[in-house]
């Protein structure tokens, strides 16, 4: 019997067999019949279904019986659902959703097929009945599986039941048999001989096979795709989840809600009613949180043995390959439906030109068009959303990883990268990689898209397609070459931006010193030079880009001319349908040609960013094992170093510190002394593990706390700074405040310990900052304390109190390593180490070292000679015993909290006085039209706008002319010769090319001019801003404007404005063409425009605020990072890395939730607008094809459709671009806020100060009153005094008395409220600020060095010769140090001067003054950071070099004030005492009380 009989017979009985066959052959025939014949196959499947259903029925009956049986026993576990867990939540993955969807579709299909089978069983033949029952069984089984899966979801089952998995495996085997028999039937019988029912069955079997494979995979995996999350685990894992904010609706929204972005509705509604606030925006879904991304990145980081050359790229791919694949899949779907529209043009033209067209044909065509465009719209917006979401996750993982790396960097790595560059890794590089996700897939999709387009064109114009291939190839090669050239520009832009940001950061951090020295112009020019370089590269890049855009904009037209010209030449007929199909395909072809170079640019930028990140992420980390740390260890040794050699540089291993042996026992107080630059701070750093250990052993037994020489205070309240993450223990906290002498300071502050400290502690004095960080260390109650010169910024009484109560009291059982210059405390310590040139040259007890003499003897001798002056007053001290006390000389410190506080005080009733740093100002509602006017008219005024609009209209008209010419020339009744047709078309194309190119270059020039104008305005405004602005504005807030906002204005906004203009004119041209040929659609325009406008308003209300909030939440991430890098030694010492990482994660989450919801809002709008465009297009087409052809000619149907097809994408593109412009205009608005800052007085006023002024240096204060702001208390209250030229005046007074205010008002950092200051007969209020400040010299308390060289630090303006510079270095004791360096005066000074000791920095600042030789010199505790020996030398130099100069000195060391001509005692804003020191000591005075304390401090 032939095989075909077995395969096609509907019979369920075995057909006659050849009895002569052997047994094996008979068995094969039987198996063939059972497995391949239609009827047995169906019986087999029905049997399997029956077994499965029976099993489920039995199981259900057993459960039901158990439930009834055990109802009496309510505690029985059988009544409880096995899978339910109240303390859990669940997440449904894509696997479950897909399985559920496929099962539902199968259930529906089998039900429909079953109903059809029953309706066709007229004769009720056995085959028909079997077929109907088979379909019924299949339908019931799939419905039951759907119910089972719903049950799984309800009870959060993570695994499919075993019975279902067995069923799916068996079903897969049978489905394979069905498919095999279908294929065999098709080959052996032939399609034409098969019955219709069998043919349908075979198609269904082949479709069913991949579905069965899918279920087979699921059954083998076993997982249902439901992930159960225990709430207790979630809370433990994500501690940062805020309970006061709802989770984003996205987390629990349905498939339909995610498809149409309905989950965005609650937020959009809220934003439409009232401007959104930070707390209104929901938090991120759990899977997108920064902590999850950070863990993911860490777990996928390549292992050392993998030796990966590009670790960051590899890690990102491992983390996100699934998301990349998914977005790629969506992009492929879009590609598949993209060309359906152009293919339909020919059908529509044919339909309108034929007389016998039927209505149903037209409706089918419109339905196909509608379906294809709907899928295209959905896929485009899903692709955008998921790509942006992926970009956001990548940004999150990079920022958190860069932050964690920053906490682990070694000292030399930190200096090599610099804060500015690391901030750029976070702000720019992370953003570049995030943006790449939108442009990643076009790279590999481009060949597919181009290939499909060329194949379609070949089917219409045959070999003429070769001309299109040739044209497209030239455009491709051109853009590739251009893109390659622009890569170097990208790198240069990034490098120059790094330099500019570094210089800006330095300017902002040291603004007080810069204003004192009148160096704003120098630093402004320095930043301006970096900007000129950056702007030059941006210009080159943008002009390159403009030419590319020009070529790409006209490429479709040029390719069309080539194609049609070739067709005309080789005689291929062109009709309306063909012409407009080809133009539509070429327009679509424009997209990959346009996006490809853009994608290449993005990839090149991202590659550079990845390279920079690779370099940073693999840079050397601090060696955690360099120091053996043991806690709760036995033995009496606390710190031990043996044969230790240390360096600050990881690479050249240049020894900076050598310690042969150092042993400090538990409970000991060890002092480290030595001259400036001898390595005292380095020794502490080596114990902390901060230095690179070349060799030797370091062991630390117990927990450590570190107090840095340069105070590090966070922008938080005083309480938060002291607690530093520990829980509050009130008794311990109060005791800490007492021993650190902070009680009185807090009493003077209106909000006490709740007072907010400004950035870098700007509203605290030097001593207060030092004591707050000491309190932080004391409160942490560690075993070992490393204190680096904690007494330098505090006065005599405070220093004595802290030494007795804190060092010798609260820390009496602790081990203390104390670096100090205060020789008078040394006889109380257990051991002293004397350092010189990076070595411990002497060690022992005070008396032992004193007998030995040498270095220690010299230090003590210098101190004792300085004390002699104070001791001469001992005879008067008894008389002074009854002298009036200052309220309490809490400290004679650099700046007072009260002084600074009062600058920002509000009336006493206002409880928010503690809030120094105000919340960032942000506009709400629409971006003001003035902002647009300001931007558009900045470069060339209204004429510039008129020219841009004119060029854009010319562009639109040239393109319209070309398309209308095509319609006219290809009409059936047109008699235009082919040569004329192509010549006219070519001329139009050339004109269009010229217009497009000129327009692109004009737009670029205009954008560059505008951005540079904005930058200069912003920089000048910041440079001219008063000091109070910098005291109350975090640097992160200014940096975000000069980095991100300027970046938008440089590149994004001009491009977006260009695109918006093009989009609106394109939209306008489409509507003209469509309405001209289908006039009824005019009535549709009214609702279309109304809906568009309503949607835009509805969306913009939320989107605008989200963009503003996004800008505001980005700055804290950067600010927190800058703050962390400054205090990284303290953070690492106290083991607070995890707490700081968590804070970074919280800030990143706050920023990214804005990003996420903004992207959701964008796609919510785009999807709706594009869908309206699809509906409009379909209705317009409906009108066109059903109107008589006399009214609408076929060629105009083709023209309208070729335009209308782009309407769906264009509507949303236009609105989205408009909204993007408005959102990005927020950057212009933010820049404008800082361009109009209140300015200080003019820098220079001509003819107000003679060239040699001041010649004598006489200072007269007449009834001087100073308040920081109107309605705030007076800080100086009617001070009147005269300082004669050449006099040395010492200024003393308690905290808040107004000492620093006096210096600030003399420099006019604050303007007097009343009274006047006259210097050498000229009122300083009439003199230009630079004329005034440049004539004075000042040595501030905190020594500030700038990145550069010794030469640029000592003489930034380049006014002096090399010989003069060496002379000043010799005078300030630095000549030997500088001469020893190979680069001499060009020796490197890193960011903040971190490669020089604090004492050396102070001496360099002194060198500046030596060079300047000002007639009036101000010293604000100038020698606080140097030892007594160096101090004595400096005082001697100042006496000699400045003998004829006027010197006003605020100092803590009494000898410094003792040899002054006069002493000024300021108390509570009044000049209480002003006389010679000897006279003040002769009578009871405030000054005498202070001298007595100083001379008795060692007692």
More confident position, 282 or 854? 282
Mean pLDDT of the chain: 76
Distance CA 93, CA 158 (A): 11
| Residue 903 confidence (pLDDT) | 38
Position 908 scores a pLDDT of: 35
Smallest Cα–Cα separation from 962: which of 999, 928, 987, 934?
987
SS3 state of residue 52: helix
Rounded to whole angstroms, the Cα distance separating 9 from 13 reads 10
DSSP 1341: S
The secondary structure of residue 306, as a DSSP letter, is G
Q: Which of 358, 376, 262, 355 is nearest to 1177 (CA)?
A: 376
655 pLDDT above the threshold of 50:
yes
> CA–CA separation, 494 vs 1162, rounded Å?
29
Percent of the chain with pLDDT over 90: 0
What is the mean pLDDT of the segment spanning 1142-1168? 87
Q: Is residue 6's pLDDT more than 60? A: no
- Residue matched to tokens 């149903």: 360
Distance from C-alpha of 90 to C-alpha of 162, rounded to nearest angstrom: 21
Range of weakest confidence among 26-35, 50-59, 1387-1396, 1471-1480: 26-35
**Full strand arrangement of the beta sheet holding 1259-1266:** 1276-1283, 1259-1266, 1314-1319, 1322-1323
pLDDT recorded at residue 150: 82
Instruction: Check residue 450 and give its pLDDT.
Output: 81
Task: Collect all residues with Cβ–Cβ distance below 8 Å to 1432 and sequence separation of at least 6.
Answer: 862, 865, 866
Q: What pLDDT, on a 0 to 100 scale, did the predictor assign at position 33?
A: 63
The Cα–Cα gap between 686 and 355 comes to 95
Alpha-carbon distance of 244 to 981, in angstroms, equals: 70
Which of the residue ranges 1-10, 103-112, 419-428, 1060-1069 would you say has the lowest mean pLDDT? 1-10
**SS3 of residue 658 by DSSP:** strand
**Residue 907: predicted pLDDT:** 34
Q: Which residue has the higher pLDDT, 677 or 118?
A: 677
Residue 213 reports pLDDT greater than 50? yes
pLDDT single digits (tens) 1168-1221: 888 888 887 787 777 766 665 445 555 566 566 666 666 666 776 777 777 778
775 pLDDT more than 80:
yes
Q: Could you give the CA distance from residue 685 to residue 648 in angstroms, rounded to a whole number?
A: 10
Q: Is the pLDDT of residue 543 over 50?
A: yes
Please state the φ and ψ torsions of residue 669, each to the nearest 5 degrees.
-110, 115
C-alpha distances (whole Å) from 1477 to each of 883, 1280, 1424, 1433, 1473 are: 15, 19, 21, 22, 10
What SS3 string covers 1298-1321?
CHHHHHHHHCCCCCCCEEEEEECC
Q: Is 26 or 765 the better-scoring residue by pLDDT?
A: 765
Is 124 a residue whose pLDDT tops 80?
no
Cα(1426)–Cα(674) distance, integer angstroms: 9
**Residue 424 pLDDT > 50:** yes
- Strand order of the sheet with strand 815-819? 627-630, 692-701, 637-647, 657-665, 839-844, 831-836, 669-674, 815-819, 784-788, 704-707
At residue 665, what are phi and psi to the nearest 5 degrees? Answer: -85, 160
pLDDT (tens digit per residue) in 228-252: 655 444 444 444 443 435 788 888 7
Respond yes or no on whether the N-terminal peptide bond of residue 472 is cis (omega within 30° of 0). Answer: no
Contact in structure between 1116 and 1147 (CB atoms under 8 Å)? yes
Q: How far apart are CA 989 and CA 560, in angstroms?
A: 9
Mean pLDDT check: name the lowest of 195-209, 1023-1037, 1151-1165.
195-209
Q: Is the pLDDT of residue 742 over 60?
A: yes
Q: What pLDDT, in 10s, does the model give residues 845-861?
A: 877 777 776 667 777 76
536 by Cβ neighbours in 10 Å (0-12 / 13-18 / 19+) ranks as middle
Residue 476 has a CB neighbour count (10 Å cut-off) of: 17
Mean pLDDT of the 695-724 span: 85
Q: Cα–Cα–Cα angle for 1339, 1340, 1344, nearest 5°?
A: 100
Lowest model confidence (mean pLDDT) among 240-254, 743-757, 977-991, 1303-1317: 240-254
Instruction: Give residue 975's pLDDT.
Output: 64
Contact between 770 and 794 (Cβ < 8 Å): yes
Quote the pLDDT of residue 18: 56
Please name the residues in contact with 929: beta carbons below 8 A apart, sequence gap of 6 or more: none
What is the spatial distance between Cα 1470 and Cα 1474, in angstroms, rounded to a whole number?
Answer: 11
The arithmetic mean of pLDDT across residues 1421-1433, rounded, is: 65
pLDDT for the residue numbered 926: 60
Q: What is the pLDDT of residue 231?
A: 46
DSSP 205-240: HHHHHHHHHHHHHHHHH-B-SEEEEEHHHHHHH-TT
In sign, the C-alpha dihedral spanning 482, 484, 485, 488 is positive
């Amino acid at each position: 019997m032939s095989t075909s009989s077995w395969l096609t017979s509907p019979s369920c009985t075995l057909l006659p067999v050849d009895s002569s066959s052997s047994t094996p052959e008979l068995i094969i025939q039987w198996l063939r019949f059972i497995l391949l014949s239609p009827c047995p196959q169906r019986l087999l499947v029905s049997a399997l279904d029956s077994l499965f259903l029976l099993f489920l029925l039995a199981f259900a009956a057993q459960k039901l019986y158990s439930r009834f049986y055990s109802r009496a026993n309510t505690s029985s576990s059988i009544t409880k659902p096995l899978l339910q867990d109240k303390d859990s939540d669940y997440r449904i993955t894509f696997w479950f959703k897909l399985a559920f969807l496929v099962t539902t579709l199968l259930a529906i299909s089998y039900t429909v097929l079953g109903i059809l089978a029953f309706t066709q069983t007229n004769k009720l033949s056995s085959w028909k009945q079997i077929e109907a029952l088979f379909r019924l069984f299949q339908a019931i089984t799939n419905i039951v599986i759907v119910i089972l899966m719903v049950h799984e979801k309800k009870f959060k089952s993570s695994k499919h039941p075993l019975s279902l998995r067995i069923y799916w495996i068996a079903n897969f085997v049978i489905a394979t048999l069905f498919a095999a028999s279908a294929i065999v039937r098709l080959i052996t019988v032939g399609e034409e001989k098969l019955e219709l029912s069998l043919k349908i069955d075979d198609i269904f079997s082949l479709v069913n096979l991949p579905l069965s494979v899918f279920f087979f995979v699921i059954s083998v995996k076993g997982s249902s795709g439901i992930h159960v999350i225990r709430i207790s685990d979630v809370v433990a894992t994500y501690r940062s989840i805020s309970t006061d904010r709802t989770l984003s609706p996205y987390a629990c929204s349905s498939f339909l809600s995610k498809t149409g972005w309905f989950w965005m509705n609650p937020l959009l509604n809220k934003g439409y009613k009232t401007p959104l606030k930070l707390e209104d925006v929901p938090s991120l879904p759990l899977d997108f949180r920064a902590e999850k991304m950070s863990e993911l990145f860490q777990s996928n980081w390549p292992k050392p043995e993998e030796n990966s050359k590009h670790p960051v790229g590899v890690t990102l791919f491992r983390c996100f390959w699934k998301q990349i694949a998914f977005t790629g899949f969506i992009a492929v779907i879009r590609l598949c439906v993209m060309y359906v529209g152009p293919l339909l043009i020919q059908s529509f033209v044919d339909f309108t030109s034929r007389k016998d067209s039927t209505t149903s044909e037209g409706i089918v065509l419109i339905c196909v068009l509608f379906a294809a465009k709907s899928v295209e719209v959905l896929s485009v917006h899903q692709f955008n959303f998921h790509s942006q979401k992926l970009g956001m996750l990548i940004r999150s993982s990079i920022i958190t990883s860069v932050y964690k790396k920053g906490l682990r960097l070694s000292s030399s790595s930190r200096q090599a990268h610099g804060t500015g560059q690391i901030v750029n890794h976070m702000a720019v590089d992370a953003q570049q990689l995030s943006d790449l996700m939108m442009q990643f897939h076009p790279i590999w999709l481009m060949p597919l898209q181009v290939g499909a387009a060329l194949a379609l064109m070949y089917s219409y114009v045959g070999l003429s397609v070769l001309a299109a291939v040739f044209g497209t190839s030239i455009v491709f090669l051109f853009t590739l070459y251009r893109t390659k050239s622009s890569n170097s520009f990208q790198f240069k832009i990034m490098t120059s931006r790094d330099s500019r940001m570094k210089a800006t950061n330095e300017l902002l951090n040291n603004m007080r010193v810069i204003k004192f020295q009148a160096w704003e112009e120098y630093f402004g020019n320095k930043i301006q030079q970096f900007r000129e370089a950056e702007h030059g590269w941006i210009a080159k890049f943008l002009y390159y880009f403009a030419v590319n855009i020009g070529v790409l904009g006209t490429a479709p037209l040029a390719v069309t001319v080539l194609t049609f010209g070739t067709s005309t030449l080789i005689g291929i007929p062109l009709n309306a349908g063909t012409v407009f199909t080809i133009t539509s395909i070429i327009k679509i072809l424009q997209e990959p040609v346009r996006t490809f170079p853009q994608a290449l640019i993005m990839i090149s930028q991202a590659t550079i960013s990845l390279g920079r990140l690779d370099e940073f992420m693999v840079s050397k980390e601090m060696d955690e094992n360099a120091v053996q740390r043991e806690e709760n260890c036995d033995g009496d040794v606390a710190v031990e170093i043996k044969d230790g050699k240390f360096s600050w540089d990881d690479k050249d291993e240049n020894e900076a510190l050598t310690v042969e042996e150092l042993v400090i026992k538990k409970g000991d107080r060890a002092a480290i002394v030595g001259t400036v630059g001898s390595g005292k701070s380095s020794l502490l750093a080596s114990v902390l593990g901060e230095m690179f250990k070349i060799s030797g052993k370091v062991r630390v037994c117990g927990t450590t706390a570190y107090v840095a020489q340069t105070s590090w205070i966070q922008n938080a309240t005083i309480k938060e700074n002291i607690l530093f993450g520990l829980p509050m223990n009130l008794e311990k906290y109060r005791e800490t405040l007492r021993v650190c002498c902070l009680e009185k300071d807090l009493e003077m502050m209106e909000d006490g310990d709740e007072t907010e400290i400004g950035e870098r502690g700007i509203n605290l004095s030097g001593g207060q900052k030092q004591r707050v960080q000491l309190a932080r260390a004391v409160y942490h109650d560690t075993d070992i304390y490393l204190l680096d010169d904690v007494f330098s910024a505090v006065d005599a009484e405070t220093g004595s109190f802290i030494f007795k109560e804190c060092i010798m009291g609260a820390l009496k059982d602790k081990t203390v390593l104390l670096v100090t210059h205060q020789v008078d405390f040394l006889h109380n310590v257990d051991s002293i180490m004397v350092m010189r040139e990076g070595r411990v040259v002497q060690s022992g007890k005070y008396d032992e070292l004193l007998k030995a003499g040498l270095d220690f003897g010299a230090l003590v001798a210098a101190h004792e000679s300085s004390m002699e002056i104070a001791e001469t007053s001992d005879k008067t001290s008894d008389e002074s015993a009854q002298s009036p006390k200052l309220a309490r000389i809490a400290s004679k410190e650099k700046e007072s909290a009260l002084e600074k506080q009062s600058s920002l005080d509000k009336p006493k009733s206002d409880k928010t006085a503690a809030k120094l740093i105000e919340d960032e100002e942000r506009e709400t509602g629409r971006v003001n039209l003035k902002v647009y006017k300001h931007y558009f008219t900045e470069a060339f005024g209204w004429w510039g706008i008129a020219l841009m609009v004119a060029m854009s209209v010319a562009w639109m008209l040239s393109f319209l002319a070309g398309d209308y010419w095509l319609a006219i020339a290809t009409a059936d009744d047109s008699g235009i010769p082919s040569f004329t047709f192509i010549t006219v078309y070519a001329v139009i194309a050339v004109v269009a090319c010229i217009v497009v190119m000129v327009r692109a270059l004009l737009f670029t020039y205009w954008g560059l001019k505008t951005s540079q104008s904005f930058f200069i305005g912003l920089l000048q405004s910041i440079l001219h801003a008063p000091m109070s602005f910098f005291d109350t504005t975090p640097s992160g807030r200014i940096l975000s404007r000069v980095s991100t906002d300027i970046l938008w204005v440089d590149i994004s906004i001009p491009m977006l404005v260009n695109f918006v203009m093009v989009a609106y004119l394109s939209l306008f041209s489409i509507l003209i063409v469509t309405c001209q040929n289908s006039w009824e659609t005019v009535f549709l325009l009214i609702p279309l425009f109304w809906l568009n406008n309503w949607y835009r308003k509805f969306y913009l209300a939320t989107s605008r605020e989200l963009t503003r909030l996004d800008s505001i939440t980005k700055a804290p991430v950067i600010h927190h990072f800058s703050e962390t890098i400054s205090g990284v030694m303290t953070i690492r010492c106290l083991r607070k890395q995890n707490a700081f990482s968590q804070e970074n994660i919280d800030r990143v989450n706050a920023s990214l939730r804005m990003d996420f919801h903004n992207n959701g809002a964008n796609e919510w709008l785009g999807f709706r607008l594009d869908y309206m465009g699809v509906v409009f297009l379909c209705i317009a087409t409906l009108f066109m094809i059903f109107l008589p052809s006399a009214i609408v000619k076929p060629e105009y149907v083709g023209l309208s459709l070729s335009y209308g097809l782009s309407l769906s994408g264009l509507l949303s593109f236009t609105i989205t671009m408009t909204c993007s412009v408005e959102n990005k205009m927020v950057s212009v608005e933010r820049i404008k806020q800082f361009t109009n800052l209140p300015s200080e007085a003019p820098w220079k006023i001509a003819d107000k100060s003679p060239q040699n002024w001041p010649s004598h240096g006489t200072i007269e204060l007449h009834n001087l009153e100073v308040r920081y702001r109107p309605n705030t208390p007076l800080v100086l209250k009617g001070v009147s005094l005269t300082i004669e030229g050449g006099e040395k005046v010492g200024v003393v007074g308690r905290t808040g008395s107004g000492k620093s205010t006096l210096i600030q008002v003399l420099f006019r950092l604050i303007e007097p409220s009343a009274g006047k200051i006259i210097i050498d007969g000229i009122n300083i209020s009439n003199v230009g600020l630079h004329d005034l400040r440049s004539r004075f010299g000042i040595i501030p308390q905190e020594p500030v060095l700038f990145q550069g060289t010794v030469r640029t630090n000592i003489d930034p303006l380049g006014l002096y010769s090399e010989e003069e510079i060496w002379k000043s270095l010799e005078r300030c004791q630095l000549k030997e140090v500088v001469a020893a360096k190979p680069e001499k005066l060009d020796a490197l000074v890193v960011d903040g001067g971190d490669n020089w000791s604090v004492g050396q920095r102070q001496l360099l600042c002194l060198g500046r003054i030596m060079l300047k030789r000002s007639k009036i010199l101000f010293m604000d505790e100038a020698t606080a950071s140097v030892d007594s020996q160096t101090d004595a030398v400096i005082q001697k130099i100042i006496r000699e070099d400045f003998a004829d100069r006027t010197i006003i000195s605020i100092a803590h060391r009494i000898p410094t004030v003792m040899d002054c001509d006069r002493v000024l005692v300021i108390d509570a804003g009044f000049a209480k005492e002003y006389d010679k020191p000897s006279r003040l000591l002769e009578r009871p005075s405030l000054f005498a009380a202070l001298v007595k304390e100083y001379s008795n401090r060692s007692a």
